[in-house]
Amino acid sequence: MATNEPTPTIDFIREIINRDNETGKYGGRVATRFPPEPNGYLHIGHTKSICLNYGIACQYHGTFNLRFDDTNPSKEEQEYVDSIKEDIRWLGADWEDRLYFASDYFEQLYDYAVQLIKKGKAYVCDLSPDEIREYRGTLTEPGRESPYRNRSIEENLDLFERMRQGEFPDGSRVLRAKIDMASGNLNMRDPAIYRIKHAEHHRTGGKWCIYPMYDFTHCLSDSIERITHSICTLEFEDHRPLYDWFLDELGVYHPRQIEFARLNLTYTVMSKRKLLQLVQEGHVSGWDDPRMPTVAGLRRRGYTPEAIRNFATRVGVAKRDSTVDIALLEHCLREDLNLRATRVMAVLRPLKVVIDNYPDGQIEQVEAVNNPEDPGMGTRMIPFSKTIYIEQDDFMEDPPKKFFRLAPGREVRLKHAYYITCADVVKDASGNVVEVHCTYDPASRGGGTPDGREVKGTLHWVSAAQAIPVEIRLYDHLFTKEDPGEDGGDFRTLLNPHSLEVLTGCLAEPSLAEARPGRPYQFLRQGYFCADSGDSRPDHLVFNRTVPLRDSWAKIQKAAK
Ligand code: ATP
Ligand code: MG
């Protein structure tokens, strides 16, 4: 990843790797992987894992694999595989030629299962799923042994082979590891390792009707790929003894598993099941709805890979679960966009202004700096004329004392152009101001102070004849509560009804006709925006507000000092 990004501090994972390198545990080799299940789109939580695994591989000159853990044929689809690859590439992580699928290992995994049977360490069980659950016991009560637990090796081999041949219906039998029904760890109470599922798999088609369980597949896939540090989230800590058991019983290469806390963010949900529900029930327009915490949604909203990577680094890795304030993510985004966004002018809710003493029919070009943070981005010319539009909010007929924008008799600066003073207003039948009349001071061209007189307000504007109409979509948090996933109630009742506000009839300066998705803009005083990759067309431009300008994270930090 780019070198101008903050270097990760030495966290507990890197400490472990350093120690392993010192002792030569893996011969100094570092091999990581990102193992998504292709049953949904990637979200911001996954990016933490990707940045961590890929970042470590880069830092230690090791390798990074992308492996799809595709063991559940009924929930997995090619669409998800494609989107996951696209999102990881966009983020900037590179698996080079190491793209793997657990389904590529099905034959090998089957052999491993046969080996366990031959060792007397696995058996075919005919209990129904309900009975298995009942026999498992609880956290306080030990489980009971299955009546099928002591089948002979020969019988088990025969039944397992016939399971594979498709002789038995779904759910009628499973292959279970023979471990310990009294273990304090429920994962060790003879877990299922193969189940019957007559379903087409997105890659192996109809070849298999038995599928290995996730726990069996995951640790053995890491072993097959000779992963050195198998980094996963905390909920797998309790599965580690089971993974150790599989690897040791089979006597195969043993990666070191390290657990870290998953990322949670305020005002959103991160469970794929819930995200899928939002999509399927139409609460959002799709996986890439700009309000979604998915990588596709963030990209469409105007997030940059740099901002997300920087966020992942700043959040760091911890051993305890916590929830990160979404304001920190937005802060990282603003920091990045501030450096790269072209400053332009667009009026969201237009109010017509006529400059009475400006020559009729005259159009002049005023010069505007593209980005004060980066002189290399140059300048451009913007048309100015007698009739312009300003923001409705920037005018008040009867303003309070602290209002420094336009009002009768008041003078303001038009950014890049002139000073204007409000002379008069025109109202419609119901008394609303529909047009403001002003005079301008020709000596104030460029927005500088002609005679040192003070003008407090600076307004953005567009020239009426050259402005282009655009649709603008403003976003707010998807949920009204900080922790919509927490209280166990229906998270959908906490959806924010105002998470999307569509403004039509907005007007933008002509240069925005060139806007393409992926290119960031700052609309002066309104925030960062980008053309919408889904709906924006040359004859109907649509802009998403990526994030407003006001940085609540910076404010929180300041208050804390
Ligand atoms: P599922 O409930 O479907 O298993 P998942 O979010 O765990 O959902 P996976 O596809 O299994 O999805 O995740 C791939 C990898 O991303 C895993 O290694 C997982 O630990 C990691 N991951 C998932 N969610 C987060 C998160 N919120 N923060 C950090 N890592 C995550
Ligand atoms: Mg998972």
Pocket test for ligand 1, best of 33, 34, 37, 217 (most atoms within 8 A of CB): 37
List C-alpha distances in Å: 123 to 24, 100, 167, 354, 493.
Answer: 38, 29, 17, 86, 46
**Ligand 1 contact via 291 beta carbon (within 6 Å):** no
Q: Give catalytic residues, as residue numbers.
A: 37, 262, 272
Q: Is 46 in the pocket of ligand 1 (CB under 6 A)?
A: yes
b/e 443-482 (16+ beta carbons within 10 angstroms → b): ebbebeeeeeeebeebbbbbbbeebbebbbbbbbbbbebe
Helix (H) or strand (E) holding 195, with range, is strand 192-196
Beta-carbon contacts of residue 104 (< 8 Å; ≥ 6 apart): none
For residue 50, the ligand 1 atom closest to its alpha carbon is 16
Helix, strand, coil shares of the chain, percent, nearest 5, are: 35, 25, 40
218 pocket-lining for ligand 1 (C-beta < 6 Å): no
Q: Whose CA is closest to 106, among 7, 205, 181?
A: 205
Say which ligand is closest to the CA of 45. Answer: 1
Q: Which CATH number among 2.40.50.140, 3.40.50.2300, 2.40.240.10, 1.10.486.10 corresponds to the domain 272-342+470-560?
A: 2.40.240.10
Per CATH, the architecture of 14-260 is what?
3-Layer(aba) Sandwich (3.40)
For the Cβ of 39 lying below 6 angstroms from any atom of ligand 1, the answer is: yes
241 Cα: distance to centroid of ligand 2 (angstroms): 17
Q: Which residue has the tokens 């290469």?
A: 253
Give the integer Cα–Cα distance in Å for 297 and 288: 4
Asked if 406 and 390 count as a contact pair (C-beta separation under 8 A), the reply is: yes
How would you write the pLDDT of the chain (561 residues) with one tens digit per residue? 444 566 667 899 999 999 999 999 999 999 999 999 999 999 999 999 999 999 999 999 999 999 999 999 988 889 999 999 999 999 999 999 999 999 999 999 999 999 999 999 999 999 999 999 999 999 999 999 999 999 999 999 999 999 999 999 999 999 999 999 999 999 999 999 999 999 999 999 999 999 999 999 999 999 999 999 999 999 999 999 999 999 999 999 999 999 999 999 999 999 999 999 999 999 999 999 999 999 999 999 999 999 999 999 999 999 988 899 999 999 999 999 999 999 999 999 999 999 999 999 999 999 999 999 999 999 999 999 999 999 999 999 999 989 999 999 999 999 999 999 999 999 999 999 999 999 999 999 886 777 878 899 999 999 999 999 999 999 999 999 999 977 678 999 999 999 999 999 999 999 999 999 999 999 999 999 999 999 999 999 999 999 999 888 877 777 776
Residue whose CA lies nearest to ligand 1 atom number 16: 46
Atom nearest to 236 CA in ligand 1 = 20
Q: Same CATH fold, 348-460 and 272-342+470-560?
A: yes
Distance 36 CA to ligand 2 centre (A): 7
Cα separation, 47 vs 276, whole angstroms: 18
Nearest CA, atom 1, ligand 1:
272
CA-based angle 283:285:290, to the nearest 5?
105
What is the 3-state secondary structure of 68-102? Answer: ECCCCCCCCCHHHHHHHHHHHHHHCCCCCCCEEEH
Tell me, in angstroms, the distance from the centre of ligand 1 to residue 262's CA. 8
- Smallest-distance ligand from the CA of 271: 1
Could you tell me which of 355, 358, 302, 349 has the C-alpha nearest to residue 531? 302
- Does the Cβ of 485 fall within 6 Å of ligand 1? no
| Ligand 1 in reach of 232 Cβ (< 6 A) | yes
pTM for the full predicted model = 0.94
Query: Does any ligand 1 atom lie closer than 6 A to the CB of residue 49?
Result: yes
Query: For the chain, which residues make up each domain, given as ranges?
Result: 14-260, 272-342+470-560, 348-460
Atom of ligand 1 nearest to the CA of 264: 27
Instruction: Please tell us whether the domain made up of 348-460 is placed in CATH 3.10.450.50.
Output: no
**Which ligand lies nearest to the CA atom of residue 40 in the structure?**
1
Output the 3-class SS for 287-353.
CCCCCCCEHHHHHHHCCCHHHHHHHHHHHCCCCCCEEECHHHHHHHHHHHHHHHCEEECEECCEEEE
Look at the alpha carbons of 443, 445, 448, 454 in this order and tell me if their dihedral is positive or negative.
Answer: positive
Query: Cβ distance 379 to 511 under 8 Å?
Result: no
* CA–centroid distance, residue 122 to ligand 1 (Å): 29
Contact 414, 332 (CB under 8 A): no
Pick the atom of ligand 1 nearest to 37's CA.
10
102 C-beta closer than 6 A to ligand 1: no
Could you tell me the distance, in angstroms and rounded to a whole number, from the CA of residue 415 to the centre of ligand 2? Answer: 51
Q: In what order do the strands lie in the sheet with 527-531?
A: 342-344, 521-523, 527-531, 541-547, 468-475, 500-508, 346-347
> Which residue, by CA, sits nearest to atom 9 of ligand 1?
36
d(CA 54, CA 50): 6
